[in-house]
Amino acid sequence: VIMTVAEDLLCSASQNSRISLQRTQAGWLLIAALMTLGPAVVQHHLPRMLLLWKCIFPSSPKDLETEKTRGDSFTWQVTLEGRAGALCAIKSFVSHCAGLLTDEVVQRLLPPLPSAVDLLTQLSSIYKSYGNSLKTPSTVYRHKLYELLAVLPPKTYEGSFCDVLKELVTDLTVPDSQIDASTFLLPPLCHENDLLLLGPLLQETDHRFIEEQLLLGNSIAGGSLEYDPYSIYEKVAKGDSVPTPLPPILSVISAATRLFGVMFSHVAESHRLQVLEQLLNSIKQAKGSRQQIVQLNVVSAFSTSLKHLANCKGSLGSEEVRRSALTLVMGALESNNPLLRCAAAECLARLAQVVSDTSFTAGLAQVSFDKLKSARDVVSRTGHSLALGCLYRYLGGIGSTQHLNACVGILYTLSQDTTSPDVQAWALHSLSLIVDLAGPLYHVHVEPTLSLVLMLLLTVPPAYAEVHQSLGRCLNALITTLGPELQGSSTTVSALRTSCLLGCAVMQDNPDCLVQAQAISCLQQLHMFAPRHVNLSSL
């Protein structure tokens, strides 16, 4: 019944121009939603859907050229609405009915794809010909095509790689919107532990929905169904920024960064260098606030591509490609936007993981060491100190005593920079990551680090809550490193245990609830390793 109603709506859309748009949208929405019921239901309706999919796109580039000379602004709105709906239905089919994707079905799916990409490349000229009313429909079409290509095997459209990549680079570097999209693009690309540095706004809370509405700013809010009716049948993926759906101008950037991540890991190495150079030039040529927006888009896209390369154990490429990639990441590591710095540190860790070469990783660390020795500005000091903590995150931990000693020395110094609470907080957070990643290697540094943590807990004013939270993370990491040793009865162990308990007591007295939470977390760790020595009645 649903399929029959959907077909009737699509076939009768042209009979009443007043509701053509609504009929077209409703027809494809029903079909796309039907796909979510899975293979058992969909297999009976598959031939009809594939026929509708085939019929809605021109069968050849010549037909598309002819089509461009016909119609008016309204008919193009209906056309783009219908084709965006068809893309949604196929994406829904691919996502929910993988069991039906036989070779025969894939062969029937493929013919309209080149035509869909051809239309993508023609959108700007169609928009110029038929006016401003096509701006939103063409943006929605672009968004839906990117989403579909991201879930299809790249081999199915490798003939269109060049055309699609060209469009993606344009979307990332010549954005329609001047809105800073960092609050929804970057958090999924940052490590959840590092997001703690940026305050409670970016952490999972009951009121995060309201906070993100405010963060988008510029009178643009997410979570409105009018932006994307097709989101009504989609489950929100865990970790996705809420509220969704976002406005089309932001959704298309989000979809472009994801598709870029997939495609970059499948293009030839020579092409990768060309694309990276183009992206770097675009950042360099952009001016003022627009430069940060372009940098944000580019870093998001590149970070996504590194995740894909890491997952498929791919190679980044030649020395030149590595150098361009490093230039891109280092630029973001010194951005004024703290969220972008945080994402860049994670991106650097992914870069080390993908290249997986000890001398390359040592070179990355040396860049940050050199910068931290000479830089006096807060931005460089925070970004590069976090980079040191993240660098070995995906490489199985720190195995070099030399690197560990150098990191500890420089982070000790930065953590005592009383002129900047931000530098202290970031350096201490990085130190907590180093403690975790070094494991048993860190034993020789435990006592001096614990002394440093206690000294700072007692001397840093309680008003600097972010510094105290980082100190809590350091203390937690130190307790984990000591582990069952805390049960010992020697004078040294007894002194260490007392220091840990003193640190917890100081944090419990802090007026900030997140610092108090850190104290409870540390007490839990202590209780796990040395239950006889921890009195939990104070909780």
Residue 139 and residue 202 in one domain: no
Q: Give percent of the chain with pLDDT exceeding 90.
A: 62
CB-based contact 432:456 (threshold 8 Å): no
- Is the entire prediction scored with pTM above 0.75? yes
Distance CA 455, CA 443 (A): 19
Residue 409 and residue 485 in one domain: yes
Residue 441 and residue 524 in one domain: yes
Tokens describing residue 440:
């048993």
Residue 176 and residue 322 in one domain: yes
CB-based contact 478:435 (threshold 8 Å): yes
Instruction: Give the best-scoring range by mean pLDDT among 97-101, 245-249, 371-375, 472-476.
Output: 472-476
Residue 399 carries which DSSP code? -
The domain tally of the chain equals 3
Secondary structure of residue 527 in the 3-state scheme: helix
Q: Please give the residue that has the higher pLDDT: either 66 or 394.
A: 394
pLDDT at 238 over 80: no
Q: What's the whole-number mean pLDDT along residues 402-428?
A: 95
pLDDT at 241: 46
pLDDT at 213: 52
pLDDT at 208 over 60: no
How many residues are given for the chain?
A: 539
Residue 169 and residue 142 in one domain: no
187-196, 369-378, 383-392: lowest mean pLDDT where? 187-196
Residue after which a domain boundary falls, among 128, 152, 176:
152
pLDDT at 423 over 60: yes
What is the band of 269 on the pLDDT scale with cuts at 50, 70, 90?
A: confident
CB-based contact 348:333 (threshold 8 Å): yes
Nearest to 293 by CA among 411, 185, 371, 397: 185
Distance CA 280, CA 502 (A): 50
Q: What are the Cα distances from residue 206, in Å, to 39, 202, 210?
A: 36, 12, 9
Residue 132 and residue 272 in one domain: no
pLDDT at 242: 47
* 475-516 residue pLDDT tens: 999 999 999 998 988 999 999 999 999 999 999 999 999 999
What is the band of 236 on the pLDDT scale with cuts at 50, 70, 90?
A: low
Distance CA 429, CA 423 (A): 10
Half-sphere exposure of 392 (CA within 13 A, CB side): 24
pLDDT at 299 over 90: yes
Q: 217, exposed or middle or buried, with CB in 10 Å at 0-12, 13-18, 19+? A: exposed
Residue 388 and residue 521 in one domain: yes
Residue 326 and residue 453 in one domain: no
CB-based contact 344:299 (threshold 8 Å): yes
116-130, 223-237, 271-285: lowest mean pLDDT where? 223-237
Say which residue the tokens 């104290």 belong to. Answer: 519
* Within-domain flag for 232: no
* Within-domain flag for 255: yes
Residues 6+ apart with CB under 8 A from 69: none
Q: What's the whole-number mean pLDDT along residues 221-246?
A: 71
* Within-domain flag for 233: no
Q: What is the extent of the structural domain holding 495?
A: 380-539
* Within-domain flag for 120: yes
Say which residue the tokens 């009121």 belong to. Answer: 207
* Within-domain flag for 257: yes
CB-based contact 42:102 (threshold 8 Å): no
What is the band of 217 on the pLDDT scale with cuts at 50, 70, 90?
A: very low
Secondary structure of residue 287 in the 3-state scheme: coil
What is the band of 270 on the pLDDT scale with cuts at 50, 70, 90?
A: confident
Half-sphere exposure of 362 (CA within 13 A, CB side): 8
Residue 352 and residue 385 in one domain: no
pLDDT at 167: 94
Distance CA 388, CA 321 (A): 22
Q: What's the whole-number mean pLDDT along residues 330-334?
A: 94
CB-based contact 169:279 (threshold 8 Å): yes
Q: Residue 436 phi/psi, 5° resolution?
A: -65, -45
Q: Please give the residue that has the higher pLDDT: either 8 or 425.
A: 425
CB-based contact 4:27 (threshold 8 Å): no
CB-based contact 58:115 (threshold 8 Å): yes
pLDDT at 528 over 70: yes
The domain spanning residue 504 has which CATH number?
1.25.10.10
Residue after which a domain boundary falls, among 98, 132, 152:
152
CB atoms within 10 A of CB 506: 21
Distance CA 344, CA 193 (A): 14
* Within-domain flag for 443: yes
Q: What are the Cα distances from residue 147, in Å, to 17, 91, 437?
A: 29, 7, 36
Distance CA 86, CA 144 (A): 9
Residue after which a domain boundary falls, among 152, 185, 212:
152
Tokens describing residue 48:
């009809």
* Within-domain flag for 363: no
Q: What's the whole-number mean pLDDT along residues 444-451?
A: 95
Q: Give percent of the chain with pLDDT exceeding 70.
A: 93
310-314, 388-392, 510-514: lowest mean pLDDT where? 310-314
Whether the CA torsion 267, 269, 271, 276 is positive or negative: it is positive
Distance CA 471, CA 385 (A): 15
pLDDT at 237: 55
Residue 67 and residue 92 in one domain: yes
CB atoms within 10 A of CB 307: 19
* Within-domain flag for 419: yes
Residue 153 carries which DSSP code? -
pLDDT at 436 over 50: yes
Residue 179 and residue 305 in one domain: yes
Q: What's the whole-number mean pLDDT along residues 458-480?
A: 95
Q: What's the whole-number mean pLDDT along residues 235-247?
A: 62
Nearest to 392 by CA among 355, 431, 350: 350
Angle between helices 513-529 and 491-508 (to 10 degrees): 150
Q: Please give the residue that has the higher pLDDT: either 327 or 270.
A: 327
pLDDT at 219: 47
Residue 59 and residue 174 in one domain: no
Degrees to nearest 5, angle at CA 180 with 177 and 183: 130
Q: Residue 123 phi/psi, 5° resolution?
A: -55, -40
Rg (CA), the chain: 27
